[in-house]
Amino acid sequence: MNPQEINEWVSAAKSAFAAAGDLDELKAARLAHTGDKAPISLASRGLGSLSPEEKASFGKVIGEAKAAIASALADETARLEIARDQKILLEEVVDITLPAKLTHAGGLHPITIIKNDISDFFLAQGYSVVEGPELESSWLNFDALNIPADHPARTMQDTFFVEPLSAGLVLRTQTSPLQIRTMLTEEPPIYIISPGRTFRADELDSTHSPVFHQVDGLVVDRGISMAHLKGTLDNFARHMFGPDVTTRLRPSFFPFTEPSAEVDVFFNGRWIEWGGCGMVNPKVLETCGVDTNEFSGFAFGMGLERTLMVRHGITDLHEIVEGDLRFTRQFGVGL
C-alpha cells in the first residue's frame, strides 16, 4: 500500500462513476469502489495493524482519498438525477391548452357595476349613498318636489299608480324623493347620492324602458352655488367618460330646480345629453324645513342605462333589461 496506489483507486472510482449512464449503473460502480471489498475499504480496515506513525500518515491519505471518492459520487449522482428528472418531466408534458375551466365565471349586471362605481366615486368625496322604497308616496315623489297636481308627469300616461288610488302610492318616477326623505330627517350639511330603480309608463323599445335606473345627487350646505354643481359634474363626467371629456350646461326646466340645466358631455365627437341638474328650488327647501337664508343646494340626476349605453357603445336597451347571460358576462365584476 503506497500513496500512488491509493491515488489510482481514486482515479479508478472517479472514472467508473463518470462512466455510469444512469443511477443504477452508478449504484453498481459505487458498490465496486466503495463497498466492503473495495481496495480502499480493505486498506482502511488494514490501518489497525500499522504502527502509530504509519497509521497517522496513511490514515490521512486514505481519509483524503475517501473524501475525494465521496465528492465525485455526489457530483455524479446529482448529474444523473437531473438527467433522470428531465426524462420523466419530458414524458409528463401535457397539452396545457386543453380547456381548464369547467364553469363560466359569472358576472354582475352592468347596472350594478356602474352603480358601485358611481357610489365609490361619491363616497370618496364624502357623499352618503341613500336608498329607499320603489313604491313611494305621491307627496314625496311629486308634491314636495314642486311638481304640481296638474303637471303632465302626474297623469296616468306617465306614472304607474297602485290600487287603491286613494293610497297615493306610485312607482317612483325618479330617485329624487330620497332627497326629500333625507332633508326631512337630517340637518344640513347634506351630501348624498341616491342610485336606484325608477319607473315610467313608457313602452319598452331600443331607447326607452318602463323600468330603468337613475342616480340623483343632492348637496345642501352653506354658500353652495351653481359653480359647485358645475365642478361636481365636470369631475363626475371625467370619471364616467374619461379625462378628456368636456361638459356643457344648457338652460332647461325642472320644477324642483331653479335655475335648471341640462348637462351634455362631448364624447366620441358629439354632444350627448347626459342628465338634468340645477340649484334646488327654494320652494323645495322650504317644504323640507331647510332655512334658505342659511343654506342653498344643488341637485342632479342621470340615467344609468343611458350612461352605460354611451360609455360602452350599447345600441339597444333590450340588452340591458333582458337578462341574457351572454350580455352580462361581458362585464365580469367590473374590474
196-235 residues in contact with other proteins (CB under 8 A) are 197, 201, 203-204, 210-211, 219, 221, 223-228, 230-232, 234-235
Residue number, 37 or 270, with CB nearest to other proteins: 270
Residue number, 86 or 155, with CB nearest to other proteins: 155
| 318 is a site residue for other proteins (CB under 8 A) | no
DSSP 206: S
Interface residue with other proteins, options 31, 70, 82, 123 (CB under 8 A): 123
- Tell me the C-alpha distance between 137 and 171, whole Å: 9
- Residues 273-302 as x/- pattern, contact with other proteins by CB under 8 A: ------x-xxx--xxxx------x------
- Identify whether 164 is preceded by a cis peptide bond (ω within 30 of 0): yes
Find the shortest distance in angstroms from Cβ 259 to other proteins.
3
- Tell me the C-alpha distance between 78 and 84, whole Å: 10
Binding residues for other proteins restricted to 89-108, rule: CB under 8 A: 98-99, 102-108
Binding residues for other proteins restricted to 134-163, rule: CB under 8 A: 134-140, 143-144, 146, 150, 152, 155-156, 160-163
Number of CB atoms found within 10 A of residue 229's CB: 25
Residue number, 22 or 187, with CB nearest to other proteins: 187
Interface residue with other proteins, options 23, 47, 119, 121 (CB under 8 A): 119
Residue number, 46 or 332, with CB nearest to other proteins: 332
Quickly tell me which residue has 351572454 as its cell: 326
Binding residues for other proteins restricted to 239-278, rule: CB under 8 A: 248-253, 258-262
Identify the CA nearest to 283 among candidates 261, 306, 255, 304: 255
Contact 199, 312 (CB under 8 A): no
Residues contacting residue 239 through CB under 8 Å, at least 6 positions apart:
117, 121
* Options 15-23, 63-71, 86-94, 124-132: segment touching other proteins (CB under 8 A): 124-132
Find the shortest distance in angstroms from Cβ 315 to other proteins.
18
- Tell me the C-alpha distance between 326 and 311, whole Å: 19
Binding residues for other proteins restricted to 43-82, rule: CB under 8 A: none
| 332 is a site residue for other proteins (CB under 8 A) | yes
Quickly tell me which residue has 366620441 as its cell: 268
- Tell me the C-alpha distance between 248 and 265, whole Å: 7
Burial label, 202 (beta-carbon count in 10 A; 0-12, 13-18, 19+): middle
